[in-house]
Homo-oligomer: A and B are copies of this chain.
């Protein structure tokens, strides 16, 4: 039994999920190796990209504005920094980029609005960052969700998505926390929240999705400046954290560079 599986089973036991989790690992294993090879997102001309998730994705966007490529509609978080990069770097591709993150959302709430806020947009690329609320909201006892519910709901959401949009490219983002942030009491959060993080990685492997390891990015970043420099409450990024996340997203998706020849460097400067 490898460590990942052992940790997961331990978490499953903690959450009362138990045997329900087992089939996932059994069926997931053969796919793992194949998924581990790096793959990049491919963008056709006119590709539609959708950012989905909770408040971290929402980031103050104007929900009445449903336009693509619009600053108010994209909000002011990592999705904005990533979108700016994509729209500049791939200007010739006439991408259409949307954000439909909604503050406070857990996976089951994404599912409730998935037809309207995902499927009908027919995205070529769907990026999802969800999970922190699925755990956070249990801490005051008002939300009764478990790790197993998170995993099951998330898997069903992804299955449904691939049934409806078989050609779509999935990006699954790792939920993260910064231990020194104002909203984080470590004894409440760990090790249980780590299991939610791991669940997203397993799903990324299962669905052959690109995985964006935000926790790894923040773990490196806090060696350069304090946790609260990046994300004051340890959950919602400040300006530096949003930019950091966009960088991690672009790196993981293989979309940092346009792939043009080097003599075009001047036109495709990275910022």
Instruction: Using CB atoms and an 8 Å cutoff, list the residues of chain A in contact with chain B.
Output: 60, 69-72, 74, 76, 80-85, 87-88, 91-92, 94, 220-221, 224-225, 229, 238-240, 242-244, 246-247, 250-251, 256, 266-267, 269-271
Q: With A71-B238, A238-B71, A239-B71 in contact, do A267 and B87 touch (Cβ < 8 Å)?
A: no
Cα–Cα, bound, A92→B230 (Å): 12
Query: Does more than half of chain A's interface fall in helix, strand or loop, or is it mixed?
Result: helix
Cα–Cα, bound, A266→B251 (Å): 10
How many chain copies? 2
CB distance from A127 to the nearest CB of B (A): 15
CB distance from A36 to the nearest CB of B (A): 19
Cβ-defined contact, A247 with B69, below 8 A: no
Cβ-defined contact, A81 with B83, below 8 A: no
Q: Among A81, A82, A243, A256, which residue has the most Cβ atoms of chain B within 10 A? A: A243
Chain B residues in 8 Å Cβ range of A247: 88, 269-271
Which of B72, B84, B88, B256 lies in contact with A269, CB distance below 8 A? B256
Cα–Cα, bound, A85→B88 (Å): 15
